[in-house]
Amino acid sequence: MGVKSCDRADEPVGLKPDRLRDPRGGKSPRRVPRRSRASTAVFIPIGFFVLLVCADYAPRSAHAQSFCASCEVQIGLGGTYHYWGTTGGTVLPVSVTWSQGRYELGFFRVTTQQTLLDRASRNERVMADPYWGASLSRRWQLFESGPVKGFVGFGLAGRTESDELSATRWDFASQLALRFRLPGNRAIAELTMRHWSNAGIRLPNHGQDFATLTVRLNSGLFGVGETNRQPIDPAFNLEHALAANGPGSEGPSLP
């Protein structure tokens, strides 16, 4: 009788089935994709920095009536471009500004693919797929003319994907914004031109260019905007006014 071979001919060399299974007899544990872990890690430093900034601007009075007395929430719509041509990306922005617009935290969702015409082949070249992004910026007011204010800002941006626009997921963020009142004087809008790039640290570095138009929301979770606040006359005395309008006073009584 011939000697039987212990190795099967159709089994790949070097691949041992016992290493593919859990020693306890079950299936091997499912590994978390590296892309999802990296996407989550993008927002951790920004979130930690936001907590530090908000801690400094948190209400220090025990009688504070709102979470953030100077916060303004804005939501809107935007689009991507490159130089003077559109790249077809739709942007959904949500931003929070505080301290009279000096600081901005923005969250952005690019919902569509970005393409650019390649002059060499005359075909559309895919520059970026949909992704999530966030930015934290310090802003400076350039001018104020009537209902219009101009801002310039610089900060840091993070993205969940690296692509032809930027080889890195961490970029520098710059912006130029115009804030103005809408007709009716009930809402404030802001038109912002934004640019994210890594300053040539790694190539390719075409940069992410997009514009956003946002409108401020008024909610009970945040304080009233600085522009809508009515200052109280420091000479006004509430107790004196109530006593003057109390029973037996000659002045008109309060309803």
Q: How many domains does the chain have?
A: 1
In the chain, the amino acid numbered 196 is W
DSSP 163: -
Confidence of residue 68 (pLDDT cuts 50, 70, 90): confident
Confidence of residue 171 (pLDDT cuts 50, 70, 90): very high
Domain assignment present for 28: no
Which CATH number does the domain housing residue 133 bear? Answer: 2.40.160.20
Inter-residue contact 128 to 147 (CB < 8 Å)? no
Domain assignment present for 148: yes
Domain assignment present for 171: yes
pLDDT tens digit string along 138-167? 999 999 998 999 999 999 999 999 999 999
> Over 50: is that where the pLDDT of 77 sits?
yes
Say which range, 5-19, 74-88, 113-127, 145-159, has the weakest mean pLDDT: 5-19
Q: Which two tokens stand for residue 18?
A: 């016992």
Q: How many helices (H) and strands (E) does the chain have?
A: 2, 10
The parent domain of residue 196 ranges over: 71-221
Domain assignment present for 250: no
Inter-residue contact 143 to 116 (CB < 8 Å)? no
Which residue's structure tokens are 């969250």?
107
The structure's pTM equals 0.64
Average pLDDT value for the chain = 76
Domain assignment present for 21: no
Domain assignment present for 168: yes
In whole angstroms, give the CA distance from residue 193 to residue 150.
Answer: 12
Residue 205 or 229, more confident: 205
